[in-house]
Amino acid sequence: MKYKSYFLLSMLCLVAGCNSSRSVLSIAPKGEFKPQSESELLAELNSQLPFAIPQEQFISKKKSGGLIGWAVVQNDREKDLAKAELDKSATLELLQVEALTDEFEAIMRQNKK
């Protein structure tokens, strides 16, 4: 009975996506798209995804080439969907995908204060 419960719990997690880790997508504008604010960059990202990145899961920083943004996705499914959509994008470039670390999560919390 004990093993059966573990199996059912594992299957539930698999279906619900809780076995996947959160990731950080690093994005930059490309082409003619030149966002002037973090909210404009996030709005463009959300317009291209089949799910929404909440404001508290997104930060940006001004670099010499413009704004760079970092968005947290909740599981491997969202990560894969985002990668596929951004690969087709004329306005956003996916720079990097990394696992979300405790350190980066702390940076995000600090930037949202």
pLDDT digits (tens, 9 = 90+) for 51-97: 999 999 999 999 887 899 999 999 999 999 999 999 999 999 999 99
pLDDT of residue 65: 77
User: What number is the average pLDDT over the span 84-111?
Assistant: 93
Reported pTM: 0.79
pLDDT of residue 51: 97
pLDDT of residue 113: 67
pLDDT of residue 69: 97
Band of pLDDT at residue 112, cut at 50, 70 and 90: confident
pLDDT of residue 68: 96
What DSSP letter does each residue of the chain carry, written as one string?
-HHHHHHHHHHHHHHHTTTSPPEEEEEEE-TT---SSHHHHHHHHHHHSSS---GGGEEEEEETTEEEEEEEESSHHHHHHHHHHHHT-SSEEEEEEEEPPHHHHHHHHHHT-
pLDDT digits (tens, 9 = 90+) for 35-52: 999 999 999 999 999 999
In degrees, rounded to 5, the angle at the alpha carbon of residue 42 between the alpha carbons of residues 39 and 44 is 110
Task: Give the count of alpha carbons within 13 A of 58, CB side only.
Answer: 19
Q: Indicate left, alpha or beta for 31 from its phi (over 0: left) and psi (-120 to 50: alpha).
A: left
Q: Domain-by-domain residue ranges, the chain?
A: 20-111
Whether the pLDDT of residue 1 is over 50: the answer is: no
What CATH number should be reported for the domain whose range is 20-111?
3.30.70
User: What number is the average pLDDT over the span 22-28?
Assistant: 96
